[in-house]
Structure 1
């Protein structure tokens, strides 16, 4: 039985609710995940539930944490069921879960349990560069996939190193090619830096006046040869597709693989919502 997370008692659970799950050897209070929390808290009528699962592993080693992803998922499921029992106004099926790295796989286990036990799954899971090591050949039940929520959107910033290579959601965004971020070129550990960059990128998408606009590509080669790059001068791209925004405001109808370009320094979004047709941002 899990006794991992206390149930909050002083929040209005009729508000929209986000569930934030950090990655390996991380705390929602001490690292870049904090940026997402702080940006969300600027909004009115919004709850942010934070899962700190460091205590599930007494040994600070990655394989131990991987083995505990399943246990963390069970704790999350038990926590949410208890929250709903004590506060019927809280609806698990309306929850948006944001998980980073190893934490992106935790909601997969929680969702499987919730679907099996009470017949509900999350409204949305956003996977922030889901972890690759020891998940390369994992079965579908052991990693994030589209069956885990009504809508699963994934952002890749370090594919093939710390982050998953293959698409994991209904829609997958590969930022600046998806493997290495230019802002990390001079970092002493560019792979880890690129992995972490998904956090400030996503943080920037939470604001209502920024947008990481992109259009769909059939392949990585098509992206490399610029035939499907986003054209800010038009509301329709060269493939006659309406552009969409990566991150918080991604439309739930989005499907497929997209390649996103950013600035090399903050603010990272190349384009602003205000210059786009308002109907596109919905």
Structure 2
């Protein structure tokens, strides 16, 4: 994103968030590494805090951003999977203070994204840690926060994975997830039209089991949302366990995806641990009713 565009976006966000109370102290960065996989180190946006931590600038960094008040459950899936798959830094963002209710989360998302971007920019300016070293993973409200942060970073985030991005309050929101937020924006829709956004938002959008209700969940929409997190976590550890990937079938349209009538090539894999820099289109795949979900 060009410097001028980022300047205007930053100015717009400053106006948007001026009436909100979320401050830097309300967004907590928890560092997990293979040296401390079960107990996080809390990082503050200061050089001294980062220097005395286990943060390793020679490794990639995965930033995780939870949805409405769900720091623990989301990261219980995602953090261990990434640490098993690869030696990385995992920065788990806790913005529970700003997302206690859904309405709070929508109104505080801009400020949270700004604070995350500022933290990434400190690592870039003080430690020469390139934005190219990041993957940002957000779920629900956190998927939109990931996009807001990605647009405000000084440089380009190569890959954002958006898991079941939220629908309500986002159709006309200026910070809504979009393909402009990173080099590649990958989206998984699991409760489309209910809790989650229905139409495609990224460069590549996956609609498992039609994207609205997941196999094994019946009419429990919250179950389908949780399954979307499980799909992502399973995708990350699949290569190291020689397990099945979530292989997508290409669709000609969103309508084909939700009706599971796609007949295109099976040439895209959802998620995974590696750096992903290419991919486009709409895809669907089927899953089992319980773990392991991927069917190859």
TM-score (structure 2 length as normaliser): 0.77
Partner residue of 1:48? 90
Partner residue of 2:223? 193
Please, which of 129, 133, 137 is the counterpart of residue 164 of structure 2? 129
CA distance in 1, matches of 2:245, 2:74: 20
Partner residue of 1:162? 195
Partner residue of 2:109? 69
Partner residue of 2:24? 2
Cα pair distance change 1:84/1:202, threshold 3 Å: same
Cα pair distance change 1:11/1:194, threshold 3 Å: same
Partner residue of 1:83? 123
In the comparison of the two structures, how many residue pairs are matched? 246
Please, which of 60, 65, 71 is the counterpart of residue 16 of structure 1? 60
Aligned-residue CA RMSD in angstroms?
2.0
SS of the aligned residue for 1:132 comes to coil
Once the 2 structures are TM-superposed, how far is the Cα of residue 154 of structure 1 from its aligned partner? 0.2
Once the 2 structures are TM-superposed, how far is the Cα of residue 221 of structure 1 from its aligned partner? 5.4
CA distance in 1, matches of 2:110, 2:262: 42
CA distance in 2, matches of 1:13, 1:72: 24
Partner residue of 2:290? 265
Cα pair distance change 1:147/1:64, threshold 3 Å: same
CA distance in 1, matches of 2:63, 2:74: 16
Contact persistence 2:247–2:270 (CA under 8 A): yes
Superposed counterparts of 1:110-121, under 5 Å: 110-114=149-153, 118=154, 120-121=155-156
CA distance in 2, matches of 1:197, 1:36: 12
Partner residue of 1:216? 250
Cα pair distance change 1:257/1:76, threshold 3 Å: same
Partner residue of 1:204? 234
CA distance in 1, matches of 2:262, 2:149: 40
TM-score (structure 1 length as normaliser): 0.81
CA distance in 2, matches of 1:201, 1:227: 20
Cα pair distance change 1:155/1:85, threshold 3 Å: same
Please, which of 101, 120, 138 is the counterpart of residue 99 of structure 1? 138
Q: Which runs of 5+ in 2 are unaligned?
A: 1-22, 29-42, 45-49
More helix by percentage:
2
CA distance in 1, matches of 2:211, 2:190: 4
- The C-alpha deviation readout for 1:60-106, integer Å capped at 9, x for no partner, is 32111210001101110111112223322x21133100000000011
